[in-house]
Structure 1
Amino acid sequence: MRSFDTISKKISEAPSVDFGDLFNESIAVFKKVWLQGFLLQLITIALSLPLLFFNFINFSDFSNNSVPLQFGTEAVFYYGLSIVLAIVSSFLTFGFFRVIRQMDIGEDFKTLDFFYFFNTERIKKALLVVLANVAVVILALLLCVFPVFYVVIPLMFVTPIFVYNPELSISEVLKSSFALGHKKWGITFLISLLNIIALYVLILLTCGLGSLFFGCFLQMPIYVLYKKIISFDNSQTQ
């Protein structure tokens, strides 16, 4: 376990990162975890089925001149379910970052690893991290659109910093994320933008199937940047 000061020092002394090396290393890690990323997509879709079914029923009723969802009594249930699914999806992403590290160092994979942060000992802090993310986004929206454009990059690093350094407080996780995000904002934005465009084209060419197999690639550069700058100790996936 490392202290906040140690992590801050590593970020402040971060070396320059070559774009080509970052992309190549991201591909190398992706080759190790593409199957786990595919499984994550399937789990997420399965968990979203109740919401999809609810939408189908609602739109069927609306076509029969029923009251629209936003004015009906079912709105609370709909938005409540959406929030719960968003939180569950965030927890699964936390678990996936643990899986990435495990596969990267050659450890065995278990499907239950995706649900690591649903444990009663960890779920409270994981929920607080999700709520902190939401609070930052809301604050940025209140300040206008441009701050959201900026904070989206630092918020990408919240997940690995929290997952690999669970001993940090919520404020320390956010401070470290913003420090790293600010330090590597340009290269993170560029590779994320190019990956999103490439994934969009792939989705069009494969009628949506590409997102199932390659959607997790968007996470790979974030993992690699964390690995290069902050690195790991032997206790961070135990």
Structure 2
Amino acid sequence: MTFSELQSKINAAKPLDFGTIFNNCIELFKKVWVQGLIMILITIAMLAPFYIIMYLPMVAMGIWNPEALQDNNVNPFLMIPFVVFMLVFTFFAMVIAFGLKASFYRICKAKDLGLVEKDDYFYYLKKPYLVKVVKLALISYGISLLAAMLCVLPILYVIVPISLMNVIFAFNPELAVGDIVKSSFDLGNRKWLITFGLIVISGLFAEVIGLVLCGVGLLITASFSYLPVYYIYKDSVGFEPYELPLE
């Protein structure tokens, strides 16, 4: 799909129904909860070593000299490497999460449409997509930091286009980075309220059900909160005829 075709479909997008999309998310989750769980576990496994590297020196310092971590005794020069590493780690985490989530949306499409495809969780973390994933993650990171600096309301606004950026890339990886970003804001502006509402409600729903399942269930239900934007894209833009299964 070309950028102009994508824009035309976004501009011509029909009104969406909250209840229909939420119900569709439940039905799709029944098909992809295992894949969603695997994606979450892969994310944790890939990021866990960096959490250890980041916090192990502080833990060691606290054990060796507990007074060193008190407010009045913290050396500001020792905090600079920690802050720098934390920023770099956060960006790295966003790259991993962006690529895995885009790959998960590709799996969702296959399960939803009944396509026979391999569950490749690293599809967008390999050539030729990795560079584009890094650029999009960097843009998302920059937008998020800027919104955070501008306080609460901008953060609430950018949640929608940033979420849509991932799914638009997943189904249009051939588009230029700038076109993907622009399309995510265009679709987000047109469908902001319903998208934001679905993101919030699905997140709360996943958390409540996960807690009912004794906490560990949060790992199982976490991916449910990713599904609404799949249907926002599908019901607004749709897929090309050649991508659909034969009748």
Q: Which amino acid aligns with 1:197?
A: L
Q: How does 1:55-74 map to 2 (within 5 A)?
A: 55=55, 58-65=58-65, 67-68=68-69, 71=78
Q: Which residue of 2 aligns with 1:18?
A: 17
C-alpha change, 1:169 and 1:235, in structure 2 (3 Å) is farther
Q: Which residue of 1 aligns with 2:114?
A: 106
Residue 224 in structure 1 maps to residue 231 in structure 2: yes
Shift of 1:51: 3.0
Alignment deviations for residues 104-128 of structure 1 (CA, whole Å, 9 cap, x no partner): 22234545x1111222321111111
C-alpha change, 1:127 and 1:27, in structure 2 (3 Å) is same
In 1, Cα distance between the equivalents of 2:21 and 2:166? 19
Sequence identity of aligned pairs in percent? Answer: 32
C-alpha change, 1:171 and 1:86, in structure 2 (3 Å) is closer
Task: Output the TM-score relative to the length of structure 1.
Answer: 0.87
Cα RMSD (Å) of the superposition?
A: 2.5
Residue from 129, 137, 141 that aligns with 2:136: 129
In 2, Cα distance between the equivalents of 1:139 and 1:115? 29
Residue 199 in structure 1 maps to residue 206 in structure 2: yes
Q: Which residue of 1 aligns with 2:98?
A: 90
C-alpha change, 1:150 and 1:78, in structure 2 (3 Å) is closer
C-alpha change, 1:202 and 1:28, in structure 2 (3 Å) is closer
Aligned residues: 235
Q: Does the Cα contact within 8 Å between 2:164 and 2:184 map onto a contact in 1?
A: yes
C-alpha change, 1:236 and 1:114, in structure 2 (3 Å) is farther
In 1, Cα distance between the equivalents of 2:208 and 2:219? 14
Shift of 1:101: 1.2
Residue 38 in structure 1 maps to residue 46 in structure 2: no
Residue from 179, 187, 193 that aligns with 1:180: 187
Q: Which amino acid aligns with 2:139?
A: A
Q: Which residue of 1 aligns with 2:166?
A: 159
Shift of 1:74: 6.1
Partner of 1:14: helix, strand, or coil? coil
Task: Output the TM-score relative to the length of structure 2.
Answer: 0.84
Partner of 1:114: helix, strand, or coil? coil
Shift of 1:72: 5.5
Q: Which amino acid aligns with 1:164?
A: F
Deviates more, 1:17-26 or 1:73-82: 73-82
In 2, Cα distance between the equivalents of 1:31 and 1:227? 18
Unaligned runs of 5+ in 2: none
Q: Does the Cα contact within 8 Å between 2:144 and 2:155 map onto a contact in 1?
A: yes
Greater Cα radius of gyration, structure 1 or 2 = 2
Shift of 1:58: 3.2
C-alpha change, 1:73 and 1:169, in structure 2 (3 Å) is closer
Q: Which amino acid aligns with 2:98?
A: S
Shift of 1:209: 1.2
Q: Does the Cα contact within 8 Å between 1:165 and 1:236 map onto a contact in 2?
A: no
Deviates more, 1:161-170 or 1:136-145: 136-145
